[in-house]
Amino acid sequence: MGLEKYLDIKPEIAEALKNGTPVVALESTILSHGFPYPENKEFAKEVEKIVRAEGAIPATTAIIGGKLKVGLTEEELMFMCNPVDVGKVSRRDIAVYLEAGKAGATTVATTMIIAAMAGIKVFATGGIGGVHRGATETMDISADLQELAQTPVAVVCAGAKQVLDIGLTLEYLETMGVPVLGYGTEDFPAFYCRKSGFDVDYAAKDAAEVARIINTKWDLGLKGGLIIGNPIPEEYELDFDTMEGIINQAIAEANEKGVRGKYITPFLLARIKELSGGESFKSNTQLAFNNCRVAAKIACELAKL
């Protein structure tokens, strides 16, 4: 029977894909495990609105009732905002969640998998996962990086989450052959901050240039995705050194409590929000909005090609 047994594509999105209308994939982990309730409900509606305003169709992904969902109804979107009933799903968990009929929020890796199955080429997220600080001992490396090496989806993000080892994350991506583009920047963004101190592979000047690079890569049959590092808008940027201090404190607390694996990032983001007096949450929201805007522009340019 193949993929159609598992894949449930919303009619509006199926029509858009058939007609070559631009579509942008969106994850659901940011709703279920990234943002608190009820703020996540407003965020969910706003990101879809932003994508539509730029001329593309939003496709929020999730696992609900034994199906890989591509596009959610308003009822499903609101359901995903209730973290009590929703697990966090990466590549290794997909088959288990489908078979058990459990509800799952899609990470970067899972969203890429579902988007590729549906034929969606561009995906907007907050920040990618990567190599965790101290990974030389813990081997804690996000599945997002392997997915980027093998799955043909372009990911627009505000760089890697600042809680990670950004230098090692970029080294890993280079080894895996994943192009790291900067959207109007030569410096790879560090989530809350516009600059990490590490260079991108190439600074693209606009959405049209990014689309041409994406198109050329896949025309050549080169496997895997691309990263488009899109810096947080200047007015929402946080001070790098201040954030480093807060992040180091949050990491120390996580180590004390023995928080590991897929629970580490939600723990750190929640603790950073508290320690920054809510400033990190404001920045996280705005960088995600900005990524959706840019992803939609890129999807529109890609559709022209």
Task: Tally the domains of the chain.
Answer: 1
Please give the pLDDT value at position 135: 75
Q: Cβ atoms within 10 A of the Cβ of 191, count?
A: 28
Strands 67-70 and 57-64: antiparallel
**Tens digit of each residue's pLDDT (9 = 90 or more) over 261-296:** 778 777 887 888 889 888 888 999 999 999 999 999
Per-residue DSSP letter, 156: E
Q: How confident is the model at residue 116 (pLDDT cuts 50, 70, 90)?
A: very high
> Does residue 27 have an active-site annotation?
yes
Type of residue found at 99: E
- Angle, helices 166-175 vs 143-150, to 10°: value is 30
The one catalytic residue in 10, 121, 161, 262 is 161
> Does residue 74 have an active-site annotation?
no
What is the average per-residue pLDDT within 91-106?
A: 96
What CA–CA distance (Å, rounded) separates 57 from 92? 28
What CA–CA distance (Å, rounded) separates 76 from 41? 11
In this model, does residue 134 exceed pLDDT 90? no
Beta-sheet strands, E only, within the chain: 7-9, 23-26, 57-64, 67-70, 87-89, 104-106, 122-124, 154-157, 180-183, 202-204, 226-229
What CA–CA distance (Å, rounded) separates 301 from 297? 6
Per the CB < 8 A criterion, the answer to whether 148 and 155 are in contact is: yes
Q: How confident is the model at residue 247 (pLDDT cuts 50, 70, 90)?
A: confident
Per the CB < 8 A criterion, the answer to whether 266 and 33 are in contact is: yes
Please give the pLDDT value at position 2: 76
Please give the pLDDT value at position 17: 97
pTM score, whole prediction: 0.93
What CA–CA distance (Å, rounded) separates 228 from 217? 14
**Tens digit of each residue's pLDDT (9 = 90 or more) over 192-246:** 999 999 999 999 999 999 999 999 999 999 999 999 999 999 999 999 899 889 9
In this model, does residue 94 exceed pLDDT 60? yes
Supply the CATH number for residue 150's domain: 3.40.1790.10
pLDDT over 70, % of the chain: 100
**Tens digit of each residue's pLDDT (9 = 90 or more) over 62-82:** 999 999 999 999 999 999 998
Residues belonging to the chain = 305
Mean pLDDT, the chain, as a whole number? 93
Task: Find the domain containing 67 and state its range.
Answer: 3-304
